[in-house]
Amino acid sequence: MVNFVGRRQELAALERELQKVAAGAGGERPGRCVMLRGRRRVGKSRLVERFVERSGVPFLFFAATGASPGNDLARLARDAQASTLPLARLVAAARPESWDAAFDVLAAALPADRASVLVIDEVPYLVDADGAFEGMLQRAWDRVLETKPVLLVLIGSDLSMMEALNTYGRPFHQRGREMVLGPLNPAEVGRMLGLEPAEAFDAALVTGGLPLICAEWPHGAGLWDFLDEALNDPVSALLVSAERSLAAEFPPQAQARTVLAAIGSGERTFTNIARAAGGSGPHHCSARWSCSRRSGSSPRSCPCPRGRRRTDATGWRTPTCGSGCTFWAPPWRRSSGDGAI
Ligand SMILES: Nc1ncnc2c1ncn2[C@@H]1O[C@H](COP(=O)(O)OP(=O)(O)OP(=O)(O)O)[C@@H](O)[C@H]1O
Ligand SMILES: [Mg+2]
């Protein structure tokens, strides 16, 4: 694994939050929450791992797997055993069977007299797997977790869902402070790759500042040497991440060629590039999609590709299609140019 580079500001921001928690210890509600989001593979988990390791306070880092709630709760018990929380064994011993119970045990395991950190990585998996997760998290936060001097860090790469978690009308509204992690900046890329400033800018543009692409750049190598190697290797991080971004963020019919042609012809915003590549730009599901789930009314068909992927036996019901969900308008809406469903 390459050595950790950069992220000075982000580490400092997390450190400040932790100091506020520590300063509030002994008070009524010292707990604080940070909701960290960013694109896939941008370095969210590594940043927080680095932060907790350097923090000097006891911590528990739990990463959800997206399996069933039962499996994730078993995972939590195992992660607790590896944690530095003095009472972490409580979590393993209690074997909680619901997130509600797990939060109560976690709260009991957190020190009351000194700061600690609780990290929940891949939160969107938990929200997906259990529609009640957000409500249970809110209850636990309001009733027990916030009363402990704990910094709760929620991490997720599903941008729309992480953003939606904090919106009005969602259970966790205004409980966490949002933090968005961007790519490594040119200075950080330059330091990571051992490049002079001008070359570092080229490298930042080509790699997009994604650490895992930078990690395949031989230290000190020139741009063309790197490209020669990466473009000739079908499983290079450069090619694979581009392919994944195309699949996840553009309409299904978009070709890399059309996306690149749009950029080459001067389009600079995501919406315009997407439009040129055959979509009508991202739209947001109207609140009624999330409402239909919450109010328990009958499931409706959802044109969101994410929703479609997650269709269950009840038809088109989607457990994830929240009000912040971004989707591509189906062809029959494209001509209208309006984003509403
Ligand atoms: N600051 C950094 N310095 C060096 N390497 C890094 C840095 N940040 C991330 N990496 C490396 O980049 C890769 C992706 O990082 P990480 O897994 O933290 O991303 P992520 O945003 O959590 O991804 P996902 O969305 O899949 O959860 C890993 O191999 C990690 O070691
Ligand atoms: Mg991660």
User: 283 forms bridges with which residues in the sheet?
Assistant: 327
Judged by its nearest atom, the ligand closest to the C-alpha of residue 157 is 1
Q: Does 106 map to a domain?
A: yes
Q: Which of 58-62, 293-297, 337-341 has the highest mean pLDDT?
A: 58-62
Which residue from 42, 44, 4 is spatially nearest to 208, judged by alpha carbons? 42
Q: Does 314 map to a domain?
A: yes
What distance lies between CA 294 and its chain's CA centroid? 23
**99 lies in the same domain as 44:** yes
More confident: 82 or 315: 82
User: 117 forms bridges with which residues in the sheet?
Assistant: 59, 151
**12 lies in the same domain as 120:** yes
Q: Does residue 84's CB lie within 6 angstroms of at least one atom of ligand 1? A: no
**13 lies in the same domain as 143:** yes
**143 lies in the same domain as 72:** yes
More confident: 81 or 211: 211
**261 lies in the same domain as 304:** no
What distance lies between CA 152 and its chain's CA centroid? 15
Q: The domain containing residue 129 runs over which residues? A: 8-181
- Measured CA distances, 298 to 75, 132, 207 (Å): 33, 18, 45
Residue nearest to atom 25 of ligand 1 (CA): 40
Least confident span in 7-16, 77-86, 161-170, 267-276:
161-170
Average pLDDT, the chain: 78
**169 lies in the same domain as 231:** no
**205 lies in the same domain as 273:** no
Residue nearest to atom 29 of ligand 1 (CA): 212
What distance lies between CA 94 and its chain's CA centroid? 29
Q: Does residue 89's CB lie within 6 angstroms of at least one atom of ligand 1? A: no
**213 lies in the same domain as 113:** no
Q: Which of 7, 10, 41 to mutate to test the pocket of ligand 1 (most atoms within 8 A of CB)?
A: 41
Packed helices 223-231 and 237-249: angle between N→C axes, nearest 10 degrees: 70
Q: What is the DSSP letter of 149?
A: S
Q: Does residue 157's CB lie within 6 angstroms of at least one atom of ligand 1? A: yes
Ligand 2 centroid–CA 43 distance in Å is 7
Least confident span in 19-23, 273-277, 283-287, 313-317:
313-317
Q: Does residue 46's CB lie within 6 angstroms of at least one atom of ligand 1? A: yes
Question: Which pLDDT belongs to residue 282?
Answer: 43
Residue pair 259/277 in contact by the 8 Å Cβ criterion: yes
Ligand 2 centroid–CA 63 distance in Å is 8
Q: Does 187 map to a domain?
A: no
| Residue where a domain terminates, one of 181, 209, 231 | 181
Q: Does 190 map to a domain?
A: no
pLDDT tens column, 232-263:
999 999 999 888 877 777 777 777 888 888 88
- Give the number of domains in the chain: 4
pLDDT tens column, 206-229:
999 999 999 999 999 999 999 999
More confident: 26 or 117: 117
Q: Does 339 map to a domain?
A: no
Rounded to two decimals, the pTM is 0.77
pLDDT of 330 over the 70 cut: no
Question: Which pLDDT belongs to residue 161?
Answer: 66
- Measured CA distances, 181 to 149, 164, 213, 246, 313 (Å): 25, 16, 17, 20, 36
Q: Does residue 211's CB lie within 6 angstroms of at least one atom of ligand 1? A: yes
**148 lies in the same domain as 225:** no
Q: Does residue 2's CB lie within 6 angstroms of at least one atom of ligand 1? A: yes
Q: Does 318 map to a domain?
A: yes
Q: Does residue 7's CB lie within 6 angstroms of at least one atom of ligand 1? A: yes
**214 lies in the same domain as 259:** no
Q: Which of 10, 36, 46 to mutate to test the pocket of ligand 1 (most atoms within 8 A of CB)?
A: 46
**136 lies in the same domain as 239:** no
**142 lies in the same domain as 127:** yes
Q: Which residues are close to ligand 2, an ion, with C-beta < 5 A?
A: 45
Q: Does 340 map to a domain?
A: no
96's CB contacts (< 8 A; 6+ apart) are 73, 76, 77, 102, 104, 105
Q: Does 186 map to a domain?
A: no
CATH number for the domain that contains residue 41 = 3.40.50.300
Q: Does residue 212's CB lie within 6 angstroms of at least one atom of ligand 1? A: yes
Question: What is d(CA 33, CA 154) in angstroms, rounded to the nearest whole number?
Answer: 8
